[in-house]
Amino acid sequence: MSTTAYGSGEPKAGLNADRRLLIDGRLVDTDRKLESINPATAQMLGYAPDADLPEAHAAIAAARRAFDANDWARDVGLRVHCLSQLHQALIDHIDELRELTIAEVGATRTLTHGPQLEGPIEIVRYYTDLLKSYSFTNNLGIKEIRGARHHRWVEAEPAGVVGAIIAYNYPNQLALAKLAPALAAGCTVILKAAPDTPLITLALGEIIAQHTDIPAGVVNVLSSSDVAVGEALTTHSDVDLITFTGSAAVGKDIMAAASSTVKRVFLELGGKSAAIMLDDADFASAAQFAAFSMVTHAGQGCALTSRLLVPREHHDEIVDLIAANFAQVRYGDPSDPKTYMGPLISARQREKVNRMVRRAVDAGAKLVTGGECVDPGFFYTPTLLTNIDPDSEIAQQEVFGPVLSVIPFDDDDDAVRIANNSIYGLAGAVFSGDHDRAVAAARRIRSGSFSINGGNYFSADSPFGGFKQSGVGREMGVAGLEEFLEHKTFATVVG
């Protein structure tokens, strides 16, 4: 396949790019504007409202009223009805959402048929179905205490007003993985879009306002470049819970800020996941997995296995296989169905990636292939590094670009030690011809998700989250719903 950057990346004619905020059931604009750039062309795509503190406070007040004053929190049937409407509305508008996701996020057309769009839409269906069968009451039975019989039970109720702050890389996934379970639980939500990708998240708000019966104030959607807006969500006493996806550094700041009002905090943060090829693995298939997964969405994925651990005696053989696979990656215009890898989100992010690669080389790493910026747009070629110190910056810090570091190990124990040598613990992978051996290694590595011989763990029904500084809590699955629930214990004396 060609590795030429095509760079057109323009949305189809007639795409409605400009969008509005959703506050208290109304679609509103602001005089201030936030530019959205097409990362495949570096050209202007459209404008989003640039909300400031008055809009943030209005959204918080609307969410508080909607939670306290209407039946949303108590009416499971209404929630099922509205989530069903939302799922159908997303399907009805999928073509428009697809083109906007490609144009603003730089996601390839193929990815929109999976985790960039169609997969997230199915999260809404999953929680709609779960809500129909989930029991919000757990009967503890009768217990005799001091001569009296006491009937006890536990009820799960919504946590309250949720501030949801998302990152730019998979905005549909991140928004719906927070919004759908929060709504299913009975919470009200203020959803803050990522400044680099505001339009696609605001489009979700417009669909909710125009095509569902979700009551005014239950969902509010903001876009803003002002850090004070995010700070308001994390510190305001009327916000009960914060859910955030982004960098570990910002996550720590949010956790600290939320402590002033003792908010519940769910954090899905960074990763520096390792893929391990044990010495009995099928090197060819494992190398293909490692290479092509690493450049998925130009490496802008927190769970991607950016460290590849290989048997020392097979190091050069595997490096050659990875390099050959990287040479086959077709990058360029994300709207072309044949493109495998699109651009990085911005010039700023590309420069960050390039600086990290240059520092790694200066520190002694070998650049096997890649390490090139390609214009127009913000493309960066698939990059393979060897001779990596496991304690170095490139092996320890999240790059968020298409950069794979190969590190040799001596035996299974050494591989596990290197994999665990990280402040993160989000995901991982292991390859072996012996299933039991692979599972045994995986169980020793402290991460929230693990792929065995290419298995796909990511789905609406499977909890996702990390150990250590990769975060707190879980998204998706039953665990994802329960992040947004509080539990209240009742007891009454019976005859």
Query: Active-site positions?
Result: 268, 302
Name the residue with tokens 């708000």: 205
Q: What angle do CA 431, 326, 305 make, to 5 degrees?
A: 40
- H-helix or E-strand spanning residue 154: strand 148-158
Cα–Cα distance for residue pair 31/234, rounded to 1 Å = 25
Cα–Cα distance for residue pair 450/283, rounded to 1 Å = 19
- H-helix or E-strand spanning residue 336: none
Amino acid occupying residue 86: L
Q: Which of 284, 310, 308, 283 is nearest to 294 (CA)?
A: 308
Dihedral angle computed from the Cα positions of residues 100, 106, 112 and 114, in that order, rounded to the nearest 10 degrees: -150
Cα–Cα distance for residue pair 414/207, rounded to 1 Å = 51
Cα–Cα distance for residue pair 33/14, rounded to 1 Å = 21
Q: Which of 211, 202, 230, 187 is nearest to 56 (CA)?
A: 230
Cα–Cα distance for residue pair 57/226, rounded to 1 Å = 13
List phi, psi (to 5°) of 384: -120, 125
Cα–Cα distance for residue pair 429/452, rounded to 1 Å = 6
| CB of 165 closer than 8 Å to CB of 184 | no
In three-state secondary structure terms, 413 is helix
Strands (E), 175-240: 188-192, 219-222
User: Pairing state of beta strands 379-380 and 424-425?
Assistant: unpaired
Cα–Cα distance for residue pair 290/285, rounded to 1 Å = 9
How many Cβ atoms from other residues are within 10 Å of residue 450's Cβ? 18
